[in-house]
Amino acid sequence: MDTLFLIFQQTMFFTIPLLLVALGGMFSERSGIINIALEGIMIMGAFTSILFISLTQDKLSGQLQLFLAILIAAGTGILFSLFHAFASINMKADQTISGTALNMFAPAFAIFVARRVGGTQQVQFANTFRIDSVPVLGDIPVIGPLFFKNTYITTYIGFAILVLSVIVVYHTRFGLRLRACGEHPQAADSVGINVYKMQYAGVIISGALGGLGGLVFVVPTSTNFNATVAGYGFLALAVLIFGQWHPVKILGAAFFFGLMKTIAASYSAIPFLSTIGIPSYIYKMIPYIATLIVLIFTSKNSQAPRAEGIPYDKGAR
């Protein structure tokens, strides 16, 4: 039972960043802008916020520091995503090219600045954010160890954002307009929606969640940041498609990917799996193979926003 709890807790560490970033991608794609720059946005968000944690270590610690870091991560993500928004919306650039450029820029920038500030490319930080057990709630049998022990405040923020996303996308005027822009921008425009504004909103939200996702990825799994988020931004894109652009399904997809990642990372500690003796590479491959297979079955009637990736031009019909 204890192993099971441990696996679950570990899975959460991998699931939450995927969930956040994929939700970010969802907002952007729902508005019609493909955001392949999520990987770069994660790196930038993680970099500035971890650097902040590292530099303020002697003055700050605990949840207050983490909270400030969260704001910095999201803010950085927004700023960085504006480059993508400007290129794809104002300049009508190819969205994959602009995204690729940002993905290349982010790690180079992070290494460069880290070297200037600290001399090395790694940014070390002390993790003072782990919550051993949430008071009262942690003592509940089963649910306590699953959700309220060995956890981070970011896990709850992740779930809160999930709930918020469902409400925003499906139950607000903003969400309806956003979806309209991704499906048929001309129609949206004809009823007075400012398509460019909505697309900016979509990309900015993806920037905030992407940046936050970067921080949330690094904090529980490492004690230094080395200008990489290990392809999690790309993985989040897969989660987004696996989850068919729907928030709740995205949670399911993120959990599946997170579980596979956990198994790949710690299968030798799991008695049942270590006796089968399947090499870790197989577990590492499974999420990608599974995504490919799911795509094969779902792409014929894909739920992808219809107008995504096509620069919106007011004059075109």
Partner 1 sequence: MKKKIDSIGFMSSLFAIIVGLLVGFVILLVSNPADAGAGFVTILTGPLTHGSKGVGQVFYYATPIILTGLSVGFAFKTGLFNIGASGQFIVGAFAAVVVGIKGEAFGSAQWVVALLAAVLAGAVWGAIPGLVKAYFNVNEVIACIMTNYIGMYLVNYLVSTNKDLYDKIHNYSKSVANTANIPKMGLDKVFEGSSVNGGFFIAVITAVVIFILLEKTTFGYELKAAGFNKDASKYAGMNEKRNIILSMAIAGALSGMAGALLYLAGSGKHIEIVDSLAAEGFTGISVALLGLSNPIGVLLAGIFIAYITAGGFYLQLLNFSTEIIDIIIAVIIYFSAFSLFVRVFITQLKKRREEKQEGGKK
- Please give the residue ranges that form the binding site for partner 1 (CB under 8 A): 36, 83, 87, 91-94, 96-98, 100-105, 107-109, 111-112, 115-116, 228, 230-231, 234, 237-238, 241, 279, 281-282, 284-285, 288-289, 291-292, 295-297, 299-300, 302, 304
Considering the complex, state which of residue 185 and residue 233 has its C-beta at the smaller distance from partner 1.
Answer: 233
Count of all residues that appear for the chain in the document: 317
Considering the complex, state which of residue 38 and residue 69 has its C-beta at the smaller distance from partner 1.
Answer: 38
Contact 30, 202 (CB under 8 A): yes
- Residue 262's alpha-carbon distances to 80, 201, 267, in angstroms, are 30, 34, 8
Considering the complex, state which of residue 4 and residue 282 has its C-beta at the smaller distance from partner 1.
Answer: 282
Contact 89, 196 (CB under 8 A): yes
Contact 24, 206 (CB under 8 A): yes
Could you tell me the sign of the dihedral formed by the alpha carbons of 47, 210, 253, 103, in that order?
negative
Considering the complex, state which of residue 128 and residue 268 has its C-beta at the smaller distance from partner 1.
Answer: 268
Task: Return the structure tokens found at 69.
Answer: 């870091």
Give the shortest CB-291-to-partner 1 separation in angstroms.
6
Give the shortest CB-86-to-partner 1 separation in angstroms.
10
Considering the complex, state which of residue 167 and residue 278 has its C-beta at the smaller distance from partner 1.
Answer: 278
Give the shortest CB-53-to-partner 1 separation in angstroms.
22
Considering the complex, state which of residue 224 and residue 302 has its C-beta at the smaller distance from partner 1.
Answer: 302
Q: How many beta carbons lie within 10 A of that of residue 105, not counting itself?
A: 16
Give the shortest CB-171-to-partner 1 separation in angstroms.
29
Contact 66, 127 (CB under 8 A): no
Considering the complex, state which of residue 220 and residue 311 has its C-beta at the smaller distance from partner 1.
Answer: 311
Give the shortest CB-257-to-partner 1 separation in angstroms.
12
Give the shortest CB-91-to-partner 1 separation in angstroms.
5
Give the shortest CB-112-to-partner 1 separation in angstroms.
4
Considering the complex, state which of residue 72 and residue 264 has its C-beta at the smaller distance from partner 1.
Answer: 264
Give the shortest CB-206-to-partner 1 separation in angstroms.
17
